[in-house]
Amino acid sequence: MAITNDYIARTLFIGTDWHLIRIGCRFAIDGTTGITGSPIFAIGVASGNTNVYGSGTTDHFFGVRTSDTSWSYAAGPPPVYSNVDWQPVRIIDDGVTITTDVHGNTNFPIAATNNIGAIIVDIDKGDGTNYGVNMCAPALAGAQTTITQTEFLNFMETKMSLMTIVKTGYGLGARRTLAIDEATDGSLDTVNFYWDSTGGIVELVEVWMRRSWRV
């Protein structure tokens, strides 16, 4: 799947019957120069599959998104978009709430070199009021080698704190929390990807979701 200034939304077959959901993707960015204009790449869960993040009207979204005003292109080898930060974000009726970055200094692989990376996002319901989000992604100082499907599926089955054992060059974020009220603002039952830039194409090689019962 390729995303250019668009979104993807898929309703979860389990609906809201989850305490922790893991969203993982193997991906690359198709680009050859830096990207400006505050590009946003977001991954999370939304309420319903119509008014999602990226549709123009967001009813309710919780997840992570990139926070840099521009992305620097590093020629490598291998070439990457370097030093991209992520922030947790909650959107209710297009009002945005953010907190301290959840993950910093991410490297995004470039599609032209067939260098595929992975992002793993964990979203949990915490104590039922304060929901948590954490992630694992290619680190700025890490070795940017392609992650195979086998390594990716190992990621999907590995506890977040042990992620760096699976693949050299990947870094963990820090779990952040935000107050969430699904009863009032809408049930989070849909996986939502969003890329708002025309400066590059996000190529999703594969996307997996996994439910768990513990953080």
Task: Retrieve residue 211's tokens.
Answer: 């439910």
What pLDDT score was predicted for residue 133? 94
What pLDDT score was predicted for residue 32? 84
What pLDDT score was predicted for residue 150? 92
Spatial separation of the C-alpha atoms in residues 134 and 178, rounded to whole Å = 12
Q: Residues in the chain with pLDDT < 70? A: 140-144, 165-166, 213-215
Complete domains list, the chain, with CATH: 2-212 (2.60.120.200)
| Residue 45 near residue 21, CB atoms below 8 Å | yes
Pairing mode of beta strands 41-46, 190-195? antiparallel
pLDDT in tens, 78-99: 788 888 889 989 999 878 888 7
| Residue 43 near residue 9, CB atoms below 8 Å | no
What pLDDT score was predicted for residue 109? 83
Task: Phi first, then psi: give them for residue 115, nearest 5 degrees.
Answer: -95, 110
Spatial separation of the C-alpha atoms in residues 206 and 208, rounded to whole Å = 7
What pLDDT score was predicted for residue 167? 76
What pLDDT score was predicted for residue 144? 65
